Amino acid sequence: MSPERISVIIQQKIEAYDPSGNLDHTARLILALMSLRHSRTKLHVERVALMAEEVASDMGKDARQAFFSGLLHDIGKLVLPYHLFADQSITDDEFSEITSHAAAGHKVLEPFHLYTALVAGIHHRAQDRGYGLTLTDFPEDMPLSQVKKVLNIAVIVGVCDFIDAWQNRGDTLRDGRKKTDLDLRSLLLEKYPDDSQVVDLALVAADKVRTI
Ligand SMILES: [Fe+2]
Ligand SMILES: [Fe+2]
């Protein structure tokens, strides 16, 4: 997998989607900022965006929304020290600092891009000891159909996020279990019991992205 090739593909897709509300400009700016000191996170969000786009497209959902939500889901990490994401072991205090990235991402994006803001805020909610926004943080006047749409995209991004972290970060999980002792698909189905289709499509999409 070539980071340069992935970056080129991402820039082409941003341009081709030509989203409303200057979302393309926001995405480009965030990637440029990440390239300075958060290059690992930049590559992570780019891979997650490609995977999420593919899964959403396979399921007949909004591939553009999934793509941009994947690109922006970890925007909150930009305000945290980059050494926290250098794939070294971290303390409990540092982990708790990292958990702030979900709510921070929502706060920063919310005035500009509501959907991507909500996905950023909720993308870690389904995990063990999930964190970030909850449904009570959604705008009260948001129609149920739109709430569901955000939640669907958030599940896709969350599954792709977990797979990418599994494949590219360390040998052990935060609870100390070794990855070699675990099966990724089973673990995902434990976390997302109602979303086996997303899990299976995301695993295939991850294999595709690895060959870029
Ligand atoms: Fe995250
Ligand atoms: Fe992430």
Domain hosting residue 195, numbered range: 3-210
CATH number at residue 71: 1.10.3210
Domain count, the chain: 1
Separation of alpha carbons 163 and 142, rounded Å:
30
Mean pLDDT of 163-172: 88
Residue 128: per-residue pLDDT: 66
Residue 9 has pLDDT above 90, yes or no: yes
Model pLDDT, residue 126:
77
Given pLDDT bands bounded at 50, 70 and 90, which one contains residue 176? Answer: confident
pLDDT at residue 32 greater than cutoff 70: yes
Answer whether residue 116 shows pLDDT above 80.
Answer: yes
Is 31 a residue whose pLDDT tops 70? yes
Distance (Å) from CA 202 to ligand 2 centroid: 14
The pTM assigned to this predicted structure is 0.96
In this predicted structure, the answer to whether residue 136 has a pLDDT above a threshold of 70 is yes
Provide the β-strand partners of residue 172.
178
Structural contact between residues 133 and 121, judged by C-beta atoms closer than 8 angstroms: yes
Kindly write down the DSSP assignment for every residue of the chain, as one continuous string. Answer: --HHHHHHHHHHHHHHH--STTHHHHHHHHHHHHHHH-HHHHHHHHHHHHHHHHHHHHTTS-HHHHHHHHHHTTGGGGGS-GGGGSSS---HHHHHHHTHHHHHHHHHHTTT-HHHHHHHHHTTTTSTT--S--GGGS-TTS-HHHHHHHHHHHHHHHHHHHHHHHHHS-SB-TTS-BGGGS-HHHHHHHH-TT-HHHHHHHHHHHHHHHT-
Point out the ligand nearest to the CA of residue 70. 2
CA 143 to ligand 2 centroid distance, Å: 27
Q: How many angstroms is it from 191 CA to the middle of ligand 1?
A: 15
Q: Convert the pLDDT of each residue in 41-58 to its tens digit.
A: 999 999 999 999 999 999
Separation of 16 CA from ligand 2 center, angstroms?
A: 24
